[in-house]
Amino acid sequence: MRAASTPSPDGPDDGPYDGPYDGPLHDPVGGALRGHHASYAVSAGSAVRYHPDVAPFAALAPDPGPGDWADLAQLLGPGGGAALIAPPPLPDGWSELMSFRGLRMVAPDARALRVTSDDLDATTLHPDRDGQEVADLVRRTEPGPFGPRTMELGRFLGVRQDGQLVALAGERMHPLGWTEISAVCTDPSARGQGLATRLVAAVTAGIHARGEGAFLHVLETNTAAVRVYE
């Protein structure tokens, strides 16, 4: 995953994603924004991005040429930035703001999980009713990009203890046939109870119940989270 900004001195670049998924998971951002999440898309020519209040991700056309990068520059505006998942090398005039090496993990068959939201006493969280609590927990735990409207993208489950929201997990990108699990976080006061593991399993079970595959992204260096997801 890399974050890129519009023209300034050029910076380092990497090659494109070369993982085993040649279908919707090869470009989950573009697939979601041109499909299930089209209502959240803002586009210019071949470039597309989530509305900034929803998520920071943008997508280019496959094997983008100068015209495609010009479309993205128009979409972001002067000095604007967006997060790109495994983009091709940046052209002259673009700079890399930050870079993260991540893993893409895919869930096993739902029958192997044997967990539902009922097993956790987890509740479905709603933006209007629970949005402020969710925002507060996200600020305390920093699970990754999360905007004012991120909860609109899918189902979110949370666990409360003594009336306080202490853990949550939800859905984000939705390319054809797949749903991404995101915003997995637990308050420090409730860690060590297995809440994240069980919430991820519960969200995954819900995704599989719709006949879709579940996947997520995690920083390679976040070994504790990798163990949870494994």
d(CA 59, CA 126): 28
* Total-model pTM: 0.85
Tell me the pLDDT band of 138, cut-offs 50, 70 and 90. very high
Contact 172, 144 (CB under 8 A): no
d(CA 46, CA 64): 9
- Other Cβ atoms less than 10 A from the Cβ of 152: the count is 16
Q: Which tokens go with 201?
A: 């399993």
Q: What is the pLDDT of residues 38-48, one digit of tens each?
A: 999 999 999 99
How remote is the C-alpha of 207 from its chain's centroid?
15
Q: What is the pLDDT of residues 73-101, one digit of tens each?
A: 999 999 999 999 988 899 999 999 999 89
207-218 average pLDDT score:
93
Burial 117-128 (b: 16+ CB within 10 A, else e): beebebeebeee
